[in-house]
Structure 1
């Protein structure tokens, strides 16, 4: 099984790992693309105003420029611990037991705008870059799309995509029977289904934690749906909706 997570804009400071070493990240075939983008982002940080425009940051977030300027020098920590925000707070990776963290290392991929796909326990620094950031000389969609789509095509087994649509555009999921994009919805009093915003991320975090704690062996998407039902999640394909055969809805 492969579980794809979006990153978070917010990240913890600090860490006790050695500074960034791109060769220690999963998917070494991405190292060249990572190095190109890291070089460009670090150089851009020498011009704070240009960096602020590229990242679409207001004055209160000026410290993010320094994070990017020093991202090769600052300590690292496992990716799953670095990211904060609603999804990762609900996941609460720091409280997972060793077996669950080991399972995360085998199954979880976080989609970073800066590093592409990183493993859950890959050592990464604090940085700031989003899927819609404008880095002069590098269009992120063009930079990542082919390589990341190829990486997903090469994967075997069930792939569960919990990314936002913006990140999914940087590395499209292959249209295979064992690859599914999961949307989070709620059901109102009128019976209509609506997409969620804040609680979308919270539901993804809870769902991910349940998978890591349960550590199921899933041979198919049907197996994923059955597992979810046993754990109290409503995960389904709806007939007669915009949800296609490669998409599921998780009712939160």
Structure 2
């Protein structure tokens, strides 16, 4: 199973002082693309005021632009611990025992605007770059789409895509029967399903944690639906190529 996760804008600080090792990252075919984004963000970071504008940072988060200045030597930590948005707070990977963390290392991939596809346990620095950021001389969409899509197409088995649409566009998952996109919905009094925004991230975090803790190994969409029924998740087929995770009204 391949579980595709979005990144988060905010990152935990700190980590190992050994620095970034590009050769140790998953999906080595993306190394040249990673070097190109690192070079572009390095050029942008020569002028932090310009970087703040390009990264669309507000006054309260303007200091995040400085994270991009020394990415090759900055402290690193596993990607699954580095990100700390709503999904990752709900997942709470640092609290997981070794077997669920190993499961994440084998099955979970984080889609990053800077590094492309990252294995959950790949060691990366804190940085600031979004799917819609502008880098000098580099369009993130054109830069990543084909390379990441090719890497995902080479995967075998079930693919469950939990990414936001912006990150899914940077590297579309393969179009096949065992590759599905997850939407989080709630049902109103009229029985209609409605998409959730902020609260969908927490639901995805809970789902990811449950998959890891149960060492889930569904080979097909039907097997995933059976697993969900057994573990208390309301997961059902939605639009073609999609699954709906139904949660209560927040």
Q: Which residue number corresponds to residue 77 of structure 1?
A: 77
Distance 2:237 2:62 in 1: 44
Q: How does 1:1-252 map to 2 (within 5 A)?
A: 1-238=1-238, 243-244=239-240, 246-252=241-247
Distance 2:124 2:160 in 1: 23
Distance 1:218 1:61 in 2: 40
Displacement after TM superposition at 1:231 (Å)? 0.6
TM-score (norm 1): 0.96
Task: Tell me the secondary structure at the aligned position of residue 56 of structure 1.
Answer: coil
Quickly say closer, same or farther: Cα 1:101–1:17, change in 2 above 3 A.
farther
- Conserved? CA contact 1:17–1:123, under 8 Å: no
Displacement after TM superposition at 1:17 (Å)? 4.7
Distance 1:73 1:89 in 2: 26
Displacement after TM superposition at 1:167 (Å)? 0.5
Task: Tell me the secondary structure at the aligned position of residue 145 of structure 2.
Answer: helix
- Conserved? CA contact 2:52–2:62, under 8 Å: yes
Distance 1:122 1:217 in 2: 21
- Conserved? CA contact 1:17–1:77, under 8 Å: no
Displacement after TM superposition at 1:217 (Å)? 2.0
Equivalent pairs, count:
247
Per mean C-alpha deviation after superposition, the further-off stretch among 61-70 and 31-40 is 61-70
TM-score (norm 2): 0.97
Distance 1:216 1:74 in 2: 34
Distance 2:132 2:216 in 1: 34
Displacement after TM superposition at 1:80 (Å)? 0.2
Runs of 4 or more consecutive aligned structure 1 residues displaced over 3 Å after TM superposition: none
- Conserved? CA contact 2:43–2:136, under 8 Å: no
Distance 2:134 2:2 in 1: 29
> Runs of 5+ in structure 2 lacking a partner?
none
Deviations 1:140-178 (Å, cap 9, x if unpaired)? 000000011111111000000000000011111111111
